[in-house]
Structure 1
Amino acid sequence: MGLPKANRLKHRRDFVAVYEQGIRRHSRYLILRALLEVSINDSLVTEPTRIGISISQKVSKKAVIRNRIKRQIRAVFRELLPYLPGGWKIVIVVKPKASECKYEHFLRELKQLLIEAEIINGY
């Protein structure tokens, strides 16, 4: 089961905007890039946080391994979604060493990266 449709970052222009204007935090296995969307009309309705995952063939030549890593990262975000405030665009870039990671590593690292980027509060 993937992320809800409203929480998916799908378009190339969104990825490019996050890469060009967003903040960057990194850990051993992951790079987090995030951009806070600015509301034009300052309404109380905010967009939901949207998440994209970027993983290259440098991580593994096998699509099975790359897809397993993406599934694990999506599962971590499904768990963290209630804690994420609205209005963020987040791109996770997977480093080549991540093929040896387990779910718990991704959970710990993503929590730490989100706290460092001040997207969620440390608790």
Structure 2
Amino acid sequence: MERLKSHRDFVTVLKKRRKVSSRDIVAHYMMRDDIAVNSEPNEDRSAILEDTATGFESNTPAAFSDTLMHAQNIENAKRLGLAVSKTVGKAVVRNKVKRRLRVIAKDCESLLPSGCDVVLRAKPTAAEVSFDSLLKQVQKLFCKINKAISSCEDCKTHENNQ
């Protein structure tokens, strides 16, 4: 699972105002197809190709196909951002929560559709719950996201495990 790194990416996901929540985590999500439909003409796929073309000589066909494949991988990648504020705890506690959420998100990645950006926001109670509890919550959240976007075949399995 790729990471959301720039502030702009986080803000874009949070502005879509699509979210699902559990007791200890809130998941904000967005499909990157939504951006492609609503984007301005300057921000189309050619911009992605230009951004990913750095480092390649653009006059060779092989370089263009590599660039195109890289751009398609970016479009299909599932990306995760973490938001763990100071209300969760001091730095050691926040980092522990982030480590747990990264591992859990990697394990549950298959529950999300391709091209989905997710920001997991930890509530202050997330520092006190067990790993298994966080795992079940993230599975449930990712299934809710998948249901909202498409149909999730594995959701019944995860809902029955709780």
State the TM-score, normalized to the length of structure 1. 0.84
1:104 pairs with 2:99: no
Greater fraction of residues in helix: 2
Asked if the contact 2:25–2:123 (Cα under 8 Å) also holds between the matched residues in 1, the reply is: yes
What RMSD over aligned residues (CA atoms) do the two structures have, in Å?
2.1
1:81 pairs with 2:109: yes
- Structure 2 unmatched runs, 5+: 37-43, 46-67, 158-162
1:32 pairs with 2:1: no
Aligned pairs (5 A) from 1:35-74 = 35-38=30-33, 39=36, 45=72, 46-60=75-89, 62-74=90-102
Between 1:63-72 and 1:18-27, the stretch displaced more is: 18-27
Q: Secondary structure of 1:112's partner?
A: helix
Name which one, 1 or 2, has greater alpha-carbon Rg: 2
Between 1:62-71 and 1:112-121, the stretch displaced more is: 112-121
**Matches of 2:32 and 2:17 in 1, distance apart?**
10
Asked if the contact 1:23–1:117 (Cα under 8 Å) also holds between the matched residues in 2, the reply is: no
**Matches of 2:95 and 2:24 in 1, distance apart?**
16
Task: Select the structure with the greater relative contact order (CA < 8 A; seq sep ≥ 6).
Answer: 1
* Cα offsets for 1:33-86 (capped at 9, x unmatched): 000001456x993430100000001011x2111100100000101111234322
1:115 is aligned to 143
* CA separation of 1:22 and 1:47: change in aligned 2, threshold 3 A: farther
State the TM-score, normalized to the length of structure 2. 0.65
Deviation of the 1:32 alpha carbon? 0.4
Deviation of the 1:102 alpha carbon? 1.5
Within the candidate set 14, 21, 27, 2:16 is matched to 21
